[in-house]
Amino acid sequence: MKKRFNDRYVSGDLPWNIDRPDFNLVNTVKEFNIQPGKAMDVGCGTGDNVFWLKQAGFIATGIDISDKAIEMALHNSEHNNIQADFYVRDIFRSEIPGAPFQFIFDRGCFHSFDKKKQRYDYAGRMHNLLEKGGHWLTLVGSVDDGRLDIGPPKRTALDIVTATEPWFEILSLKQGRFDSNDVVPSKIWVVLMRKRE
C-alpha cells in the first residue's frame, strides 16, 4: 500500500487532492460543536485538513504512509506559515506521536481496506488512539454512488456499522458527497462516532 500511494504522489495522480479543507470536516465540526483539542488527520496527504484544524484552534497532527505526501505537507506548512506536525507513519505498525487524541479525521482511509477483518482492526486502532469520549469522523465511499469502477473504493452502510459499532457509538451516519473538483463528486457516507468505553 505504501508504494502504491507514494507512486501516486510522485506522479501527481491525486484526484483526492483539492487544495482546500473538505467541507464535510468543516461542517461536521461546526454542526456537532466539536471543541478544539488534540486532533489527528489519518492519511493527511498534503495537509489541507490539518491546516484547517490548526486554524480552528486544534493541536493538529497529520500522518500518512507516503513519504512524498508528508514531504509535500511540510513544504505547504512552511509556504503557508502554519506550524503543524506531520509524520510518515503506518497506522497499524507505528507509534503515533501525540496520541491519545480528542478528535480523529479520516478522509478516505477506512474505505481503502477491502477485507472485513482489516476494517474491524482499523476501527479498533482508531479507538485505541482516542481519549475517553473522543470523536472519529470518517468519510467513506458509498456503493450507492453506482460508479463502482471509478472514484474511491465503495462500501455499504453495513460494512461501516459492522466494523465500527463494537468500538464506537455512531452519532451520525448520513449520505453526502466528497468535496471534490470532479463534475459529479462521488457519493460518500459521512460518519461521526464517539469512542465506547
Query: What is the tens place of the pLDDT at every residue in 20-73?
Result: 999 999 999 999 999 999 999 999 999 999 999 999 999 999 999 999 899 999
**Cα–Cα distance between 146 and 154 in angstroms, integer?**
9
Domains of the chain: 2-8+24-143+157-195 (3.40.50.150)
Query: What is the tens place of the pLDDT at every residue in 101-155?
Result: 999 999 989 999 999 999 999 999 999 999 999 999 999 999 999 888 887 899 9
Q: What is the mean pLDDT of residues 169-192?
A: 94
What pLDDT does residue 59 have? 97
Residue 138, classed as helix, strand or coil, is strand
Dihedral in degrees, nearest 10, Cα atoms 191, 107, 62, 31: -40
What pLDDT does residue 17 have? 72
**Cα–Cα distance between 100 and 126 in angstroms, integer?**
10
